[in-house]
Amino acid sequence: MRWPQIVVFVYGLFLVVMGVIGGAGLAGGKPSPISLVGAVFGLAIIYLGSQVAKNPRMAYIGTAVIALLNLIQFVPRYLGPDGKLFPHGLIAGASLITFLALGAAHMMAKSKATPTSEA
């Protein structure tokens, strides 16, 4: 298993855990059914991670898109007046790390695939 695939799996598992915590109200608040949608996204990411051998482009781009959507959703909530580290900051940070890691993996793969010309 290569490191980008591990990043995808860990991020998916993280979203499942956070979705279950929020959906069941285990963090002390009232149960939030919308948090279970995050768990479904986590399961989708774990599925995408399992498909890396068949179609790595779909798996990595799909995960990057979900991470970017999570960033768009949770960064304003974290930076807003009611910004909380848990769960908004935690999910935003994990999404940013995942997005940057997958971007770095893409750049590393492209640099190996195309030879550089020295003039």
Specify the residue for token string 């948090």.
35
Question: Among residues 53, 75, 62, 69, which one has the least CA distance to residue 8?
Answer: 62
pLDDT in tens, 33-78: 999 999 999 999 999 999 998 999 999 999 999 999 999 999 999 9
What phi and psi, each to the nearest 5 degrees, are found at residue 26? -75, -10
Dist CA 117 CA 42 (whole Å)? 41
Which DSSP state fits 18? H
pLDDT in tens, 4-40: 999 999 999 999 999 999 999 998 889 999 999 999 9
